[in-house]
């Protein structure tokens, strides 16, 4: 799971990782909030009504869900399970609380990556540049970032995004290396068994 | 630590990793065996006399040592500690028993990578091609490889060397990702503290 405060470049990093790796499935969250300009249903979020969200909740259709700033967000289970059954990895572009919930359910098999901004001043500059949020929302985001950043020791990896290309290379290294972990490759057992049966 | 039976391409992989990464120090083993054609003192091994090896042993100068096929091998402590004090990582191109000993001393901070041959037949072909060993030695190496390969579950990562470039890319991903682990980057704590002191 990749976690970062808004305005740290998380979306650009995760979208590129997914487009570069066919065996990586991006979990698209469902949300009751309104689409922002440029956002597409099914690509950025599944935009659903409050009624639809409630009925999904009652069907236990989310791996995790939360209410943030008055809107509901959740990770639908079905596409995640389908991807895992196909042997793919699943990437969660998710907030801090959601990541902790998924981590609790998925256990040590989940990998927590935190993307750090070089400074809050730089993060504030980026939030102002993208001009999506009011001053009040920006202040709330910066304040929340402070709380999240303080929990950096709960993450497996921390990437400093002071340079996009380097940060992306870091993220890609982590993705590849984690796929190479012995525990994620039970097929090696079959290969080893074949090898042990060889006559020498 | 990178471990593999002879004839799996371990030396080519580790030498390239070290030459591509200035912050990676290769631990050069000391040995009492004779240099093979093409081997250089100080590059492939530190070739030492039995007396010298014994005096190093009595000075506790090795992180690990062993007798293999009648020759002594050991990893001298001093250059390893110097490299770690400079903030570098240390790569051990080492045999299975040695890796287990270093792992026991270094604890979870050490990373165990095993390079698998695609088959024993292929490994045998490579050992015959390089023509360094007698038939007897080749048979002994293959037999030892079987014992080691059976212990694959003690390794953190397993790389299948059926294609040099892919295996090298795998090894480099592991190296970079391991350096990005939160626990190996205590300086992030300072960065986070600076960030938490920022006024928003």
ipTM of the complex: 0.84
Residue in A117, A155, A177 nearest the CB of B182: A155
Contact B21, B90 (CB under 8 A): no
Q: How far is A171 from chain B (nearest CA, A)?
A: 8
CATH value of A2-194 in 3.40.50.970, 3.40.50.300, 3.40.50.12780, 3.40.50.2030: 3.40.50.300
The pLDDT value given to residue A131: 78
Best mutation site among B13, B150, B192, B193 for testing chain A: the one with the most A CBs within 10 Å?
A: B192
pLDDT for B4 equals 78
Q: Phi-psi category of A107—alpha, beta or left, where left has phi over 0 and alpha has psi -120 to 50?
A: left
Global pTM?
Answer: 0.88
Instruction: Tell me the chain B residues in contact with residue A108 when contact means C-beta distances shorter than 8 Å.
Output: none
State yes or no: pLDDT of B176 exceeds 90. yes
**For A136-170, what is each residue's pLDDT tens digit?**
988 988 888 888 888 888 899 999 999 999 999 99
Q: Locate B192 and state its tokens.
A: 């986070």
**Among the ranges given (A14-28, A43-57, B87-101, B167-181), the one the predictor scored with the smallest mean pLDDT:** B87-101
Q: What is the pLDDT, as a whole number, of residue B45?
A: 94
Strands (E), chain A: 2-3, 24-27, 30-31, 46-47, 62-68, 71-76, 89-92, 113-116, 157-160
pLDDT at residue B179 tops 90: yes
Sheet containing A157-160, strands listed edge to edge, beginning at the edge strand earlier in sequence: A2-3, A113-116, A157-160
Higher pLDDT, B104 or A177: A177
Beta carbons of B195 and A159 less than 8 Å apart: no
Task: Please give the Cα distance from A119 to A161 (Å, whole number).
Answer: 10
Do B92 and B75 meet the contact criterion of CB atoms below 8 Å apart? Answer: yes
Assigned CATH for B2-197:
3.40.50.300
In Å, how far from its chain's centre is CA A21? 15
For residue B93, the model assigns a pLDDT of 86
Q: Which of A192, A193, A196 to mutate to test the interface with B (most CBs of B within 10 A)?
A: A192
- Give the nearest chain B residue to A187 (CA atoms): B158
**How far apart are alpha carbons B180 and B186 in whole angstroms?**
11
**Regions in chain A scoring below 70 on pLDDT:** none
Token readout for B167 is 């295996």
For testing contact with chain B, the best of A20, A138, A195, A197 (most B CBs within 10 A): A195
The confidence score (pLDDT) of residue A129 equals 87
CB contact under 8 Å between B177 and A157, yes or no, is yes
Asked if A163 contacts A11 with a C-beta cutoff of 8 angstroms, the reply is no
User: How many Cα atoms within 13 Å fall on the side-chain side of residue A81?
Assistant: 6
Report the residue from B114, B172, B188 with minimal CB separation from A158: B188
pLDDT at residue number B132: 79
Taking CB atoms and an 8 Å limit, are A198 and B121 in contact across chains? yes
Is residue B163 scored above 80 in pLDDT? yes
In the block, tokens 């929302």 appear at: A137
Q: How far is Cα B66 from Cα B182, in angstroms, rounded to an integer?
A: 34
Three-state DSSP state, A129: helix
CB-nearest partner of B119 from A149, A177, A195: A195
Mean pLDDT over the full length of chain B: 90
Specify the length of chain A in residues.
200
Nearest to A200 among B142, B150, B160 (CB): B142
Indicate if the pLDDT at residue B7 is higher than 80: no
**pLDDT by residue (tens digit) across B47-72?**
999 999 999 999 999 999 999 889 99
């Amino acid at each position: 799971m990749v976690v970062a405060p808004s305005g740290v470049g998380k979306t650009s990093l995760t979208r590129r990782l997914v487009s570069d790796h066919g065996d990586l499935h991006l979990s698209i969250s469902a949300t009751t909030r309104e689409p922002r300009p440029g956002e597409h249903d099914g690509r950025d979020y599944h935009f659903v009504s409050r009624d639809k969200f409630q009925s999904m909740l009652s069907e236990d259709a989310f791996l995790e869900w939360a209410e943030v700033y008055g809107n509901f967000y959740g990770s639908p289970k079905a596409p995640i399970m389908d991807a895992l059954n196909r042997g793919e990895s699943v990437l969660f572009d998710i907030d801090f609380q959601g990541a902790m919930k998924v981590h609790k359910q998925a256990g040590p098999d989940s990998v927590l990556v935190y993307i750090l901004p070089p400074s809050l001043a730089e993060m504030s500059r980026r939030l102002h540049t993208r001009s999506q949020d009011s001053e009040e929302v920006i202040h709330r985001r910066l304040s929340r970032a402070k709380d999240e950043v303080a929990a950096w020791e709960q993450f497996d990896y921390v990437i400093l995004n002071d340079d996009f290309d380097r940060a992306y290379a870091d993220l890609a290294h982590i993705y590849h290396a984690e796929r190479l972990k012995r525990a994620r490759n039970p097929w090696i057992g079959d290969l080893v068994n074949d090898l042990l049966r060889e006559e020498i």
